[in-house]
Structure 1
């Protein structure tokens, strides 16, 4: 009992004594937990001397324990017999634990709550058993009786601390002497009020984002030189936040059963100079996976304004921890792990949160939108990034979170949420279509380049640098053909990521790639021409075929660009321009047939060497095949566009 508490007790004012006892008990709770950590660390070192030992000095400081000699205790511990440990200072530590248990129990006894009698009996039973076998020695069973959190293993001092702490929090809320913006406060100083108000300003700013979910209850009190803030966050026993504020320094102790949520919480302070100690894990069979985790973060403010700003920010982050793990698991049904965590972090940073999404239906909203946009239900187990590329999938989920939160806050009907998601997803699919048209257009531009190179080489075949020009052109054509192959692979990847929404344009690009293959082959065969060029009739026919290849490729690119804006009810001019381009390709193909026949007639009449004429014939055949293939591809595009325009 502190001096102040003893004075109040002497005055015979139990109503005034209780808050002082409660403040002492909350401070004792921090200290006794440190002593448990100390014994566990000592046992770990004694059993595994080479194992990395946790640094406990920060936890000791956070608990308000000045005795730094305790820091060396784990490293001096050893296993002296089977299941018997020599821990220097163990008897002293056990005595300190007993004292803290009495301090924890004192306000519960003074308040007369029903739980006090049972807790008193449990403490008496624990004390009826020896805590140390002999001086500074403890057996494994004795350590378990002190630090175990497993209720199936029998009662322990640790379990008593947990139960007393829960009762203390309930008692604390009942005896609060004032309410500061929702925080139950008692035994505070005037200087504490603006700090509590700053913390609660943050809590209340984001409180609506938890909707009807319980949690965020806050209590505030003073213990010596420290202001103590505590927030229950949610409903999980081990999900607790304790904040100590002392002389401009804020020390946050955070416990959680989910290590990923703890790491997420730490990440929220990336832009603040918070120093986090190593995270420690403790065993407790009542918790998920039988373990919970503890981390302590320290922030030192430069001035009062900085202190208030940090407390406000700290309070505003707590709502994003409620049901976080449930949101993470459900989001993992839609996105990979890394992207799921990134979306949750983004939602917290943007002040949106995840509770609105969970409340609106969670992943089922997205599954329904996918079924609508794709016209078919997604395959079992399919994720959003199986349909959209990951960046688009993340952007869509950000839209989903924002839309759901806004709709829930404004009490908008569920139908409005569903419709908004469907429209947005359809927009994503249309964006993918535009991506594929971009790829097709870039692919068509390569066809123009290769065809133009052929045309220019044929026009300059009688010049002095013709041989060098033809060789250089063949190399460029080969390079462009490889680029075209890369574009085909890109289209296939886009089609894979957007199953059911890129099939046509992927097929179109694959067909157009055959055109480029023929043009590149023509450039190769042109390089096989003899030093003396073929006769004028052959060159004229080849020149005509090459010129037609250029014009057809240009018209195909024009048709693709026109196809972007064609839609039911859209401008008639776009459709007219599109059809004109297709008709030009059709006419060019017929002209290419005639030019190829003219080439054959000239070939028969030519008396040159067969080997020389072979290269000419193959070049002409490649150019004529390119015209045929381009017409086939253009007709596919025409049928697709007209079908889309005339569909209901």
Structure 2
């Protein structure tokens, strides 16, 4: 009854009656079994040596899974001075009371006038069951009142179950349902049918992506001026979606116990034109074990019927992607960050490949197996995929694996084929990309930021901004140092990272030199100094600008190198070599510009020896950065040529 309780909590009781009747008929089977077991317990207590009845088939037919305590209830029964003593009598009365409520609900709580006599009898027997005490057992009169079937002896629980069953059969005939494109419908108006079909068209388009997972059962009916559509999504008790359509408006109520999955579904629906108006936390004693869950409402307003049908179709197609969403998110987070995992699931939903195929094909085991088999130098046990490949490449690999898993399972090919594809995809990715250079690219970005700050300081020469410029430069230099330390740590574990360490050490020399130049510039404004002379500032600006341009070329060269492979395009190789050639020419030009700066400093700042000395050191630091760039360029060229065979 939990799904029905959830729908009732969402305020749409008109959808409940067929579900209530189905649940009531199942409860009827269990109640008859529980009463038979009580009679069997009494027989066992009277004749302990008699051979007991095998109830296993009845348990299966009634859908009773926890049978141990029921079998013990029978085996442990005995009479004490005529009183039937039963272990688990309290548990027996609890499940009987729950099923009695379930069985009576369609008859006693439906929109039709409830029979007062059945309501009174139900309430009386619920009170009777609550009053049973396992310490006191069952008096003979109580046992008879529960189990006898003779009306002349007065009412009994057995008789009430029989009468409720008759009423249920009548009610079931009155609400006989039709199946419309897979939806259970009743009481529809003619204009409702195309709307239900539109919803089911979207649902059926993506429903195969849930594979064998239960869920997506849909019911629809008319409630006064509104069409109501309900989808139970999955097996969770509060995971329910109810849609109302009235005139040109679709209003959706959705409940979910996972706030993250709720936000994911919000995002999916916003893209198709729904606006969320309500989001609250709710709780119910019979739902989600009393824990809070999230309830939200979204609205779509269409201009015509075609817009309504399109929105309902798009909505139906999105529902499958929330099934087992949280399980997939947790498994993906073993390889990428939380946001990356959510973005992956969103992309899988948007491109309609989903995540269930990946989960069913092995999920995280696929990835771990591929990591261990493709390259022992690349991966070590305990390492995350994104730590080795980088977040973007790791996400791309996982998405490709999710897509291929879905395709293979939908084609009913062997699941082992997915494991082979996982290894092939990862091996191909490792051949195509040099992931070690991701750190160098990030390092180059920080170096570029420091160089821009040096140029800005020389251009503006504003004493008011000096301290802030120096702080920014120092922070960026520390971030660059941290990246070098990461490279060294990885090199201790993997030999393939060792060449990168040497390359990044050259790059770090560039960042250090530029940060020193920025610091020296701040010293030029410490009293009694008043900064650079105009004559000295101009060649220093040209020197800094040329170094900045060379760093921009380094950033370009690293980006090209990151994606070059053995089968790389010739144009990529040419662009890479041309970029490195510009870095070489920039270093030669910087040598010349540094000498011009020294001459200008001597000629225009002779009156301030300390300032001239600091300015000379600044020019030397920038020129040192250009030397470091040349070393980085040569090391990068050697690495790329060794990997790809690029020739000049």
Please indicate the TM-score interval, normalised by the length of the shorter structure: 0.5 to 0.7
The Cα shift of 1:330 comes to 1.7
Q: Superposed, which structure 2 residues align to 1:256-335 within 5 Å?
A: 258=258, 261=261, 264-265=264-265, 268-270=268-270, 271-272=273-274, 278-284=280-286, 293=293, 295=295, 297=297, 304-305=305-306, 307-335=308-336
Q: Which of 155, 168, 177 lines up with 2:95 in the alignment?
A: 155
TM-score (norm 2): 0.55
Report the CA distance shift for 1:615/1:104 in structure 2 as closer, same or farther (over 3 A): closer
> Is the CA contact 2:254–2:295 (under 8 Å) kept in the aligned structure 1?
yes
Q: Distance in 1 between matches of 2:265 and 2:405?
A: 23
> Is the CA contact 2:586–2:626 (under 8 Å) kept in the aligned structure 1?
no
Q: 2:54 maps to which residue?
A: none
**Structure 2 gap segments, 5+ residues each:** 39-89, 107-164, 491-496, 530-534
> Is the CA contact 2:261–2:325 (under 8 Å) kept in the aligned structure 1?
yes
Q: Distance in 1 between matches of 2:36 and 2:405?
A: 51
SS at match of 1:377: coil
> Is the CA contact 1:277–1:296 (under 8 Å) kept in the aligned structure 2?
yes
Q: Distance in 1 between matches of 2:638 and 2:522?
A: 37
Q: Distance in 2 between matches of 1:476 and 1:226?
A: 65
Q: Which of 505, 510, 534 lines up with 2:508 in the alignment?
A: 510
Q: 1:14 maps to which residue?
A: none
Q: Superposed, which structure 2 residues align to 1:488-527 within 5 Å?
A: 488-491=477-480, 507-520=505-518
Q: 1:437 maps to which residue?
A: 444
What RMSD in Å do the two structures reach over aligned CA positions?
Answer: 6.3
Report the CA distance shift for 1:416/1:186 in structure 2 as closer, same or farther (over 3 A): same
Q: 1:639 maps to which residue?
A: 635
Structure 1 residues 12-51: Cα deviation after superposition (integer angstroms, max 9, x where no partner): xxxxxxxxxxxxxx9xx96xx59x99xxxxxxxxxxxxxx
**Structure 1 gap segments, 5+ residues each:** 1-25, 38-55, 66-99, 124-149, 454-468, 532-539
Report the CA distance shift for 1:338/1:283 in structure 2 as closer, same or farther (over 3 A): farther
Q: Superposed, which structure 2 residues align to 1:484-563 within 5 Å?
A: 484-491=473-480, 507-520=505-518, 553=547, 556-557=550-551, 560=554, 563=557
> Is the CA contact 1:545–1:623 (under 8 Å) kept in the aligned structure 2?
no
Q: 2:198 maps to which residue?
A: 198
The Cα shift of 1:314 comes to 3.9
Q: Superposed, which structure 2 residues align to 1:75-474 within 5 Å?
A: 104=21, 108=25, 117-118=32-33, 154-155=94-95, 157-161=97-101, 179-185=179-185, 190-219=190-219, 229-236=229-236, 239-241=239-241, 258=258, 261=261, 264-265=264-265, 268-270=268-270, 271-272=273-274, 278-284=280-286, 293=293, 295=295, 297=297, 304-305=305-306, 307-337=308-338, 340-341=341-342, 343-364=344-365, 375-377=377-379, 380=382, 382=384, 384=386, 388=390, 401=402, 404-405=405-406, 409=410, 414=418, 415-416=420-421, 418-420=423-425, 429=435, 433-444=440-451, 472=461
The Cα shift of 1:116 comes to 7.2
The Cα shift of 1:204 comes to 0.7
SS at match of 1:215: coil
> Is the CA contact 1:280–1:294 (under 8 Å) kept in the aligned structure 2?
yes
Q: How many residues align?
A: 501
Q: Distance in 2 between matches of 1:543 and 1:312?
A: 67
Q: 1:133 maps to which residue?
A: none
SS at match of 1:154: helix
Q: Distance in 1 between matches of 2:597 and 2:24?
A: 105
Q: Distance in 1 between matches of 2:512 and 2:547?
A: 13
The Cα shift of 1:328 comes to 2.7
Q: Distance in 1 between matches of 2:330 and 2:556?
A: 45
Report the CA distance shift for 1:634/1:211 in structure 2 as closer, same or farther (over 3 A): same
Which has the larger displacement, 428-437 or 506-515? 428-437
TM-score (norm 1): 0.55
Q: Distance in 2 between matches of 1:594 and 1:277?
A: 68
Q: Superposed, which structure 2 residues align to 1:477-488 within 5 Å?
A: 482-488=471-477
Report the CA distance shift for 1:638/1:116 in structure 2 as closer, same or farther (over 3 A): same
The Cα shift of 1:350 comes to 4.8
Q: Distance in 2 between matches of 1:355 and 1:615?
A: 69
Q: Distance in 1 between matches of 2:257 and 2:555?
A: 56
